[in-house]
Amino acid sequence: MAEADDDQQTVPKVITCLSSLLQRVAESNDKRRLFQSQKMLLITSVLVSAQFMDDICYINAYYAKVGSISTEEMNILEVDFLFGLGFQLNTGGVKS
């Protein structure tokens, strides 16, 4: 029962973090993005948000499969996303 409560609390936190990260990416002046579509940006931001907010999460290969891309490409997109944010994932609106 406690695990279900934890999951119910984690999902809103991930969504809040996701929203904040997407806003920061949109405001970024970094033009070196490898994101060829909004779908790739969304799947990458979901992956990063979920991994940041919860220790128990799916591996990159799962997100790659969901996004219909290779695991290698998913890993590259994740690294590019993190560098684009300067590895600053903390958001003011999300509290643990």
Enter the pTM of the model: 0.65
Q: Residue 3, exposed/middle/buried by CB under 10 A (0-12, 13-18, 19+)?
A: exposed
Q: Which structure tokens are listed for 83?
A: 């560098």
77 assigned to some structural domain: yes
Domain count, the chain: 1
Q: Supply the CATH number for residue 14's domain.
A: 1.10.472
The answer to the question of residue 63 being in a domain is: yes
* CB neighbour class for 23 (10 Å; exposed up to 12, middle 13-18, buried from 19): exposed
Judge whether 92 lies within some domain: no
Hey, what amino acid is at 3? E
Residue 47 within any structural domain of the chain: yes
93 in a structural domain:
no
Quick check: is 67 in a domain?
A: yes
Question: What is the residue range of 43's domain?
Answer: 2-84
Structure confidence by residue, pLDDT tens digits, 42-69: 888 888 888 887 777 788 898 899 888 8
